[in-house]
Amino acid sequence: MEKLLYVPNPLLRQKTKKIESVGSYELKIAKKMKEIMYSVPGVGLAANQIGILKQIITISFTDQETKKEVNYNLFNPEIISYSQEKIFMEEGCLSLPEQFAKIERSKKILIKYLDDNNHSVMKEVDGVEARILQHEIDHLSGKLFVDYLSSLKRNIMIKKVKKYLKNNIDV
């Protein structure tokens, strides 16, 4: 659990498992995830991106519209409902460095998750926060943002990542 995994690592395609409850071990994982996320830097990270097949997500960003700091962990997150209204926005992924594409997602979602204190939280989110959470929750089921693209575009991006990693990172 020390480093970020990159495509085509098979752990990125595996489904993660629900946690029993939030305890010190889960909080330690979330803390390590935040450290890795900040170092890259990114706005969200799913546990399987660092090789842990548990349903843990961490997000941290400043909302450009409201200037509000958003920073929290989600354990066993699930999307309860999606708004009918969709928006296209450019997305990238820490596991696919330097690759971006416009992806259509719901503008608002209703999510349910456990917080750091093992309390169940139900929350409606919209805008960038909703997008980040949809992206990260996809990770927990082994889905990547490039899966929303045509196979041609997806394969080109994956080849670019492999080339990038070969030239830039000791994987």
- 71 bridge partner residues: 60
CA distances for 122 relative to 8, 32, 137, 142, angstroms: 34, 25, 15, 23
Cα gap 151→58, rounded to integer Å: 29
124 flagged as catalytic: no
Cα gap 10→80, rounded to integer Å: 28
Question: Of the candidates 125, 134, 46, which has an alpha carbon nearest to the alpha carbon of residue 91?
Answer: 134
Task: List the catalytic residue out of 26, 91, 129, 136.
Answer: 136
The length of the chain, given as a count of residues = 171
User: Dihedral of CA 60/63/68/74: which sign?
Assistant: negative
- 32 with 45: CB under 8 angstroms? no
- 45 with 57: CB under 8 angstroms? yes
| Residues recognised as catalytic | 136
